[in-house]
Amino acid sequence: GFEMAERLSWIIKNGDLEAVQRNINESNVNKMIDGRYPIHYAADYGHTGVIEYLINIGADVNVTDVHGITALLAAVFEGHKDVVVLLLSKGARRDTTAPDGRSILDCTSEDDIKQILATNNCSI
């Protein structure tokens, strides 16, 4: 129910890998929590260890939330360079666009993230 969903999203946002491992498994790694998936919450908050775990147990790296945002786009929006690198290395789609139609490169003002995206042949 709602309380469980709230608890799961909080555990992920907090980056508590042990709690994530106890509560998220193959059966619920790709289940939506309040319009987003576990990988989105981890990407939003920059938790690379949690993302690695989620991907290792079957998280869809390219799943979109209710707004059409992927985990890669969430990481770009939030400026989490390490997460951007990790998601690209795990097969994140390079042609991701924002819900408003902007290219992924146009979704950041941070030069280091732009450089990573350009180096990885992300759409311009």
Q: What token pair was written down for 122?
A: 């992300």
Is residue 64 within 8 A of residue 84, CB to CB? The reply is no
Q: For the whole model, what pTM was predicted? A: 0.94
pLDDT tens-digit series, residues 39-81? 999 999 999 999 999 999 999 999 999 999 999 999 999 999 9
Is residue 39 within 8 A of residue 33, CB to CB? The reply is no
- Residue 47 CA to residue 101 CA, distance in Å, equals 27
Q: Where are the domains of the chain?
A: 2-119
Query: What architecture does CATH give domain 2-119?
Result: Alpha Horseshoe (1.25)
pLDDT beyond 80 at 2: no
Identify the residue whose tokens are 């981890």.
42
